Structure 1
């Protein structure tokens, strides 16, 4: 058995109603639900929400909303791992069951990405698998700014190092995470502290959506991708 949990609380401070706001013609969460269905690797797809409107929309799309999340796990400081562990507990999921956390604001994720994440979890016998992508610029040549406005390199030793000679670096793509139900319940310091493996996502399919500027950029990126693939919408 495999389970997908899409956490989607109703509150969002920076972008109100972000999880169901229309993104290129359909509610944001609908993109994640469609990808989960497309993946064909889940026995169950569940939305964990505290919001009746989100629950109704998810049910209309054919996925499960077997409970409403409690207020204690629905503020903006609640770790995602607690939400996934809560869902697994409520659904009586056995500890060895692969469980995917798929964010509701991941319109660029594809079903094949999710399936590859599961394959990596099983092939590597990993505790966690994280969607990752590369930084667009060497972080070893990052700058910092003083209160007076002056800039300087954080790593002075790389002042004259060529970019191509620096180690490639990666970051969490903020799209999905795989782990067994028991490991979600015992994630401790977090998934990246557990020797996680990565599923690589192309950089042009990664965009945090936390501000209005992020939203506009994401829609522009998706519009370009759609045009390049000869499609009008999802």
Structure 2
């Protein structure tokens, strides 16, 4: 199966939890740089395009090798704006202005700086091998839902009845959560369905040490520690 792949990176300037998160220096480089550099190493990805409304982020992206052929409209970079609208805007802009339409769109969020080209190419290889329409990256959960609790009328009760009698970790079925590192979908289906869950969505399992998704300062410090250990 021959196909072309666009790596799309969404990086807006209005991060509230960690100000200027996407260009904040992490272990010597802007956070955004890690995703750009690994995407550019891929043997499958044709283009690495950054979508941002921030001139400052755009300059950092260009410095590390990303294309910034357009600036994202401000209304698609607010807290209320959805990522899918920014993705569709990017795809439509490339089609209308450059007559470029990738078979697959690979969303690589800059908040996953520990993801490597091995993960990116491994995910694409799996997608092609299984002739699938979409793929998402996952990692095994730390806190199994069978052991979660909820409070009803000031009483602690099982979140799910299914697992309340399981007491040994090894008896738990494997459960996974999205790690936010890699999303791939056929571009035409992505635009039509406004989702990365199109057709048959297959999983790509990543280890926990490469699955940190930076949402807050604790995640940031964890990523920093893991990076230093890896170096």
Give TM-score scaled by structure 1 length: 0.87
Report what 2:109 is aligned to.
103
Q: Distance in 2 between matches of 1:222 and 1:144?
A: 35
Report what 1:119 is aligned to.
125
1:25-79 deviations in Å (ceiling 9; x for gaps): 1100001011101223211111000000111111111221000000121112322
User: How far is the alpha carbon of 1:95 from its aligned partner?
Assistant: 5.6
Report what 1:142 is aligned to.
148
Q: Secondary structure at the match of 1:65?
A: coil
Q: Distance in 2 between matches of 1:220 and 1:154?
A: 33
Counterparts in 2 of 1:34 and 1:96: CA distance versus 1, 3 Å: closer
Equivalent runs, 1:84-99 vs 2, <5 Å: 84-92=87-95, 97-99=103-105
Report what 1:37 is aligned to.
40
Structure 1 residue runs without a partner (length 5+): none
1:88-125 deviations in Å (ceiling 9; x for gaps): 11111666611111101111110011112222222222
Counterparts in 2 of 1:133 and 1:157: CA distance versus 1, 3 Å: closer
Is 2:134–2:198's contact at 8 Å kept on the other side of the alignment? no
Q: Distance in 2 between matches of 1:7 and 1:72?
A: 14
Q: Distance in 1 between matches of 2:102 and 2:181?
A: 22
Query: RMSD of aligned C-alpha atoms?
Result: 2.0
Equivalent runs, 1:1-234 vs 2, <5 Å: 1-92=4-95, 97-145=103-151, 148=154, 150-161=155-166, 162-188=168-194, 190-192=195-197, 195-224=200-229, 226=230, 231=231
Give TM-score scaled by structure 2 length: 0.88
Counterparts in 2 of 1:125 and 1:76: CA distance versus 1, 3 Å: farther
Q: Secondary structure at the match of 2:41?
A: helix
